[in-house]
Structure 1
């Protein structure tokens, strides 16, 4: 699996990440969701450079012109619920893509800090021969992405897999390299060095799902 870290080069993405991390700003849920959506748009643009293109003749009011247009059959799969704003950002650029939704969440069976990743819901078209884009803003341990990959096996074999995330841990990235196939690439805004004892990214930004949509009860 290849890795493309967007913030290795300075761009407007730095501002969006800064606001997502800032405790004085992130309480504004609308801005938080919009900043994740913007980063989805940025990474969709970068990802688009690696799609397959073919020339198409387009008629204008004054003549005709040949334009290279993408030919990949795309399926965007977001991991509920935090993945929804990121999904929307990607969909803003790939508006003719098919869409898939899957749940993957931290289940605390003993009501303590120990957790397992559960996948309980999946709605997806066929993935056979298509380009799959998996979207989840936080890449902590990497288990959510790997469990989702297993859950999607029955949907067919994609020709290419792109993972899109906002903030990840180095540990999680290294884990994904061991479980995702060679025909996959991770697009991520920035990678933090640490996970804490509870599996949260440090410095990270907190719980992206709660910051997007409000606090939830653990179950």
Structure 2
């Protein structure tokens, strides 16, 4: 497992805009998608490519294409806020979905929806969620994706905390984690500090 925290000035600037309490849902969504698209460049750094023969206006030559199909797996609902930004860079990416909610008694994630794509065993999987807090939802989502037969999986989030990174890396040591920021800690209510609040509510304008 590798953990990557992004320090790019553009990402730091946009994340700061998102953290502000006065930021509107519209601006929050726009900056989230922009950060997601910026992060994809680094996430795909080591993705295998295959040579293909192509014809340019001048001559025949060899080009390159991503070797495996790409599948995005947003964890509903907040993960949907990152899909458009990633698809703007990888428009051919297909989308599977995993829906989870937290049981009020056990505090554990419970699956209420899951829909996979075809050929997921051969695909490059990106599980996405803006927050990596306790790690429970990310672990459960990756459990589900592995049950589908997925082999190559990466997890992308906006804000993580040490507790979540530790839990996810122990549960799935083969999954690389990418975050725009590693924040300080979890508070007593399992919110990331300093964080940015409830990402789902801020994306969709709900309470």
> Structure 2 length normalisation: TM-score?
0.92
Q: Which residue of 2 aligns with 1:4?
A: 4
CA displacement 1:78-114 (0-9 Å, x = unmatched): 01111112122112212112210111223324xxxx7
Asked whether the 8 Å contact 1:140–1:172 carries over to 2, the reply is yes
Matched, 1:48 2:40: no
Q: Which residue of 2 aligns with 1:21?
A: 19
Asked whether the 8 Å contact 1:125–1:155 carries over to 2, the reply is no
Matched, 1:75 2:67: no
Residue in structure 1 matching 2:172, options 180, 192, 195: 180
Residue in structure 2 matching 1:128, options 89, 103, 121: 121
Q: Which runs of 5+ in 1 are unaligned?
A: none
After TM superposition, give the deviation of residue 193 of structure 1 in Å: 1.8
Output the CA distance in 2 between the equivalents of 1:128 and 1:61.
37
Residue in structure 2 matching 1:37, options 26, 33, 37: 33
Q: Which residue of 2 aligns with 1:161?
A: 153
Residue in structure 2 matching 1:88, options 81, 84, 87: 84
Asked whether the 8 Å contact 2:162–2:182 carries over to 1, the reply is yes
Range that drifts further, 74-83 or 84-93 = 84-93
Q: Determine helix, strand or coil for the equivalent of 2:96.
A: strand
Residue in structure 1 matching 2:163, options 157, 171, 184: 171
After TM superposition, give the deviation of residue 63 of structure 1 in Å: 2.6
Asked whether the 8 Å contact 1:75–1:131 carries over to 2, the reply is yes
Asked whether the 8 Å contact 2:68–2:122 carries over to 1, the reply is no
Cα RMSD, aligned residues only: 1.6
Q: Which residue of 1 aligns with 2:186?
A: 195
Instruction: Give the 5 Å matches for 1:104-115.
Output: 104-109=100-105, 115=107
After TM superposition, give the deviation of residue 141 of structure 1 in Å: 0.5
Output the CA distance in 2 between the equivalents of 1:154 and 1:55.
31
Q: How many residues align?
A: 206
> Structure 1 length normalisation: TM-score?
0.88
CA displacement 1:157-190 (0-9 Å, x = unmatched): x2311100000111100111101142x2111101
After TM superposition, give the deviation of residue 72 of structure 1 in Å: 1.7
